[in-house]
Amino acid sequence: MASKILLFLFSIFLYSFPRLILSLSADQTVQTFIIRVNSQSKPSIFPTHYHWYASEFADPPRILHTYDTVFHGFSATLTKNEADTIGKNPSVLAVFKDRRRELHTTRSPQFLGLRNQRGLWSDSDYGSDVIIGLLDTGIWPERRSFSDKNLGPVPSRWKGACQAGEKFTVLNCNRKLIGAKFFSKGHDASASVGGPMVSNDTVEYRSPRDADGHGTHTASTAAGRYVFQANMSGYASGIAKGVAPKARLAVYKVCWKNSGCFDSDILSAFDTAVKDGVDVISISIGGSDGVSSPYYLDPIAIGSYGAVSRGIFVSSSAGNGGPDVMTVTNLAPWLTTVGAGTIDRNFPAIIKLGNGKQFSGVSLYAGAPIGGKMYPLVYPGKSGVLAASLCMENSLDPNAVRGKIVICDRGSSARVAKGLEVKKAGGVGMILANGMTAGEGLVGDAHILPACAIGVNEGDLVKKYLSTTPNPTATIDFQGTLLGIKPAPIVASFSGRGLNGLDPNILKPDLIAPGVNILAAWTDAIGPTGLDSDTRRTEFNILSGTSMACPHVSGAAALLKSAHRNWSPAMIRSAMMTTANVLDNRNQPMMDEANGKQSTPYGFGAGHVNLGQAMDPGLVYDITNEDYVNFLCGVGYGLKEIQVITKSVPNCPRKKPLAENLNYPSIAAWFSSAKVGAISKNFLRTVTNVGEVNAIYTVKVESPKGVTVVVKPTKLAFTAAVKKLSYVVTVTTDSKSLTLDDSGAVFGSISWSDGVGKHVVRSPIVVTLLTPL
């Protein structure tokens, strides 16, 4: 009887309560907004938060998602006036627009330092008890990489499910792929008001099935099973395997082919993944505008905090905006942000000119070879028409390119799409020449005609030959797969670079992993170029991007989580960062692909992942939820803004914390360029001993040029009773005499060594000058 009375009262309330929402006007544009609500403000008359939202804020059909785990609130289609009105409600903490995000698009496990018979693979049983959640474009479940042969039962803690949909049933899940869901309400709402949508001539599935290929590729990179005789049209032949081959996969499709990924769907996927029981979340997605929002307005930062605060490791891609400085994305300090490096494998192709000169490039072309025949060479950009120089759609004159090898400048359109334009115009081949932005950075593509990518210097030389020769000719010789490349790794030209444009107290990226020419599983919905006109189908594809680097670290985290179940996400990240390599396979400092010079922590963070050492790092830097809250207090966020991220009302210390004292495994010291004379900053760090019980560590300092670095104490003695010890780093410089490099910084490091050569715990130091606003 009481429940009936409550329902009756609720019905009266629902229809009589003065709603905040205004009626729609014809001249008001509807778009999706995400609303962060104080969950404690819900009137008791409402049985659920959804009923409250539907009564007070928006009509039920306009509510897209409700969030209750990593975030409290909802998303809805509203006009700006309606959103502004809702924002004035005292129960509402924040209102922000739904944004469109972009994807940051078999030898690599060995290049991470993994070996079959010993080390992290064997100690973690290849990650068999760990669940990796991937937020991406879905999965092609039939691929051999997702077989559950000889896998044990699904972990009992798993609470997720397999969501059926178009050409995807619950039977597509197994003991390997233990969950699959899709999130499209934000995407659909955007399409309904004129945003990007799936076109009629594009294959897409309203289900977890992957029509794009990106999600299948990242999933198998992180946790693909052993697959023998793997290759992409003959390239990279061998055994394909993910970093954590026995880890379980849960796929959350949030990105849709040709139309991107929307924050409201991403946040809902975070919410669901945490409730489902994943241990690791991998998200190779980031902003498309190059601008980073404050953490409290960034759903990826908010969703990942909700996951990390519950012990779930979250890895994210650093973005493909390099090599310019301040292009790194996904900057929240609780995220592990991953840049991209090369591995010791390449796919060379040789351009031979009519004058006998040769230039080395890269290609994954697998069709009929040119056969050494020399063809006329043409550069459409010689006419001065920009679109023609870039080989944009319908820009090429068939009379000018028919039967010739065409030079196309890189940029503005997909690399493989340029080849398609050349082929449509009757060209027989393409030389894809980098501009200054890409520099010497090369990635392989499965072109639909004979084509080769070359660096900016080689491109200029080829163009010079063409402009000074009456009848220029060229041919392309494809060399296949070459192993043992030196130097490697090299920081990829495209990989997002520091400075951290949101908060210079935190060095980003955190580290790099293999992200250039990575072989992994592929969808059967589209060919290896991703072009709708590409009718080829292949089980594997070779892709490049920080999207490919991120799942390497996701898989690595799964292995470390399996081997060390009590480690926090911060401890796992610390283990990878402090043991990372800063030397290449020549034992020389790591190089930068963009300019051929020595790279810096703005490119590689702490270094390149080395899982052979990360299993036993000796010391780790742990960070608690309270530490993150103090950091947010320290950067100047208000209590309401912090609560948007943390859900609970924060308790900022009376004395404002110093943001630079967040217990991060790297040190970023920035000083005002306006200050004159010697200037100093102190950085407090605390290390936890996870190695031998009785150990003494001694510090070694490599001070940046023009900077004095002092560490106190210089020795740390651990015992059974003393597992944690702190130290202070004092960084001193003079802004007038400090000479910065081209990136606007100088670099050094501190390393704690146990004296027996087993453990060296290294942290990079970055010092920069910033002009006050």
406: region left, alpha or beta (phi > 0 left; psi from -120 to 50 alpha): beta
Please confirm, yes or no, whether 217 is among the known catalytic residues.
no
Phi, psi of 242 (to 5 degrees): -80, 175
Where does 224-359 have alpha helices with state H?
263-276, 299-308
> What H or E segment, with its residue span, contains residue 5?
helix 2-16
- Residue listed under structure tokens 């009992």: 156
Q: What is the C-alpha separation between 406 and 403, in angstroms, rounded?
A: 9
Look up residue 93 and give its two tokens.
């903490």
Q: Count Cβ atoms within 10 A of the Cβ of residue 308 and give its class: 0-12 exposed, 13-18 middle, 19 or more buried.
A: buried
Say how many Å lie between the first and final Cα of the chain, rounded.
64
Catalytic residue, from 304, 547, 554, 743: name it.
547
CA distances from 565 to 129, 178, 615 (A): 10, 21, 12
Beta strands 255-256 and 92-97: pairing type? Answer: unpaired
27 is an active site residue: no
Is 454 strand, coil or helix? Answer: strand
Active-site residue (options: 187, 214, 552, 759)? 214
Among the options 65, 104, 129, 136, which is catalytic? Answer: 136
CA distance 683 to 668: 9
Kindly compute the dihedral angle of the four CA atoms of residues 138, 140, 143, 148, in this order, to the nearest 10 degrees.
60
Q: How far apart are CA 98 and CA 91, in angstroms?
A: 20
- DSSP for 743-756? TSEEEEEEEEE-SS
Beta bridge partners of 162: 180
Kindly report the length of the chain.
773
- Is-catalytic flag, 564? no
How many CB atoms are located within 10 Å of the residue 104 CB?
A: 31
Rounded Cα gap, residues 531 and 528, in angstroms:
8
Tokens for 420, please give them.
């398609």
Catalytic residue numbers read 136, 214, 547
